[in-house]
Chain A
Amino acid sequence: MRRSLVGLAAVLVLLVPGAASAHGNLAAAGAFYSGLLHPLLVPAELLCLLAVGLYLGTNGRHASQIGVPVFAGFVAAGLALGGLLSLPVRLPTIMALAAAALASLSVIAGKRLPHALLAVLAGFGGLAIGLDAVPDADGWGDRLLTSVATVIGSGAAIVILTAFVSSQQRELSRIGYRVAGSWIMAVAILYFGWLAVQ
């Protein structure tokens, strides 16, 4: 067992090429942080992240256990897909906001959803963020590093948000989640309206 542990650890280390030379590689650090923070700095991705986090958190622990891995997995899938396909420019943003709108709608309504639906919505949100966050760096090494960082960043953010929401379930907090949901929904409505005019 111990040997397999060492093997696993070694594989983990080899999977992080950027980390292999701690100093002397500021470029790698830049690529890593730009990927890590991408979902938090791009408004559409942030809204999607917030809405899905609120939605999973208000649906209970079991929902989070399903939703969080599905979400993170689909972020990775979106990053890979987006690198292969060339999508219309605004499509990922539209998808992210659609996911945000659907998730926040169910937060506002305060209804628990069946797990299948929940997984679909979490996956859709993750996919949208992944597609939107495809790195545009030059080398494949940097792109891989940025993508891995995006999965870590969005995964950590959704876990923290979900855990926070599900741990704070007093009445006032629940009101706060609904109000936040309505704000996200309002932003999505405004954006889609603007899009329709364009």
Chain B
Amino acid sequence: MRFAKPACLGLAAALVPALSSVARAHVGEGAGGGLISGFVHPLLGADHVMAMVAVGLWGVFLGRPAIWLLPVIFPLVMALGGVMGMVGMPLPSVETGIALSAIVLGLCVALGARAPLWLAAVLVGFFAIFHGYAHGAEMPGEADALSFALGFVIATGVLHLTGILFGSLARTEPGRLAVRAAGAVIALGGVGFLTGVV
């Protein structure tokens, strides 16, 4: 059959979720609540949201390998931080770390800083630990931990993507300015969180 394959695949991908309407199985039940609470969790903290978006934005200025390396490294290290939070490993001044991450990453975007790749990775990884720690400490105790983790990681990833998409404005000169301005706003927000003004 000479059907256009990619179109076919895309359609199927879009329609498969709809199929679940006929699944009378109880498999999905209970998972929904954990997924949603996990998804909402990172979106509730403004400091967290801003730092995530900044990661995406900064990747744009850093160019080719960084634009994917940062969103790959961040979830992994964040997950490790989450485990540290769950285990209850002592980590000093988590909230300060998160606010600092917004300041530093926001500044990097605002200045259009072109740090070496290893430095950017280490910096982002370092802050990711704080973000993960804060959420890991609040992971639910019961059976839907997996759905919670899933929702949590997806939300974080979506925030990165938002940053990357917004950052793609930076191809034009006014766009660059807008992106750098956004970085400045994020850094200012971070200062606000650090000093307790916001």
Q: Is there direct touching of A and B in the complex, by C-beta distance under 8 Å?
A: yes
A residues whose Cβ falls under 8 Å from a Cβ of B: 29-30, 33-34, 36-38, 40-44, 47, 93, 97, 108, 160, 163-164, 167-168, 175, 178-179, 181-183, 185-187, 189-194, 196-197
Query: Most B CB atoms within 10 A — which of A160, A167, A183?
Result: A183
Q: How far is the CB of A164 from chain B (nearest CB, A)?
A: 5
List B contacts of A47 (CB < 8 A). 150
B residues whose Cβ falls under 8 Å from a Cβ of A: 5-6, 9, 12-13, 16, 19-20, 22-25, 27-28, 31, 35, 67-68, 71-73, 75-76, 78-80, 82-83, 86-87, 136, 139, 145-147, 149-150, 152-154, 157, 160
List A contacts of B147 (CB < 8 A). 43
Query: Most B CB atoms within 10 A — which of A30, A190, A191, A194?
Result: A190
- Beta-carbon contact of B27 and A197 below 8 Å: no
| Contact A34 B27, CB 8 Å, known A178-B68, A179-B72, A186-B75 | yes
Give the nearest-CB partner of A197 in chain B.
Answer: B86
- Beta-carbon contact of B149 and A182 below 8 Å: no
Q: How far is the CA of A180 from the CA of B75 in the complex (A)?
A: 10
- Beta-carbon contact of A43 and B150 below 8 Å: yes
Question: Closest 3 interchain pairs by CB?
Answer: A193-B83, A34-B25, A189-B79
Give the nearest-CB partner of B71 in chain A.
Answer: A179
The residue from A37, A160, A187 contacting B79, defined by CB atoms under 8 A apart:
A187
The residue from B67, B76, B160 contacting A189, defined by CB atoms under 8 A apart:
B76
List B contacts of A193 (CB < 8 A). 79, 82-83, 86-87, 136
Q: How far is the CA of A36 from the CA of B9 in the complex (A)?
A: 18
List B contacts of A181 (CB < 8 A). 72
Using A182-B75, A183-B154, A190-B149 as known contacts, list a sample of 12 further A-B pairs with CB atoms less than 8 Å apart, ordered by residue number in A: A33-B22, A41-B25, A175-B68, A183-B157, A185-B75, A186-B149, A187-B79, A189-B79, A190-B82, A190-B152, A192-B83, A193-B87
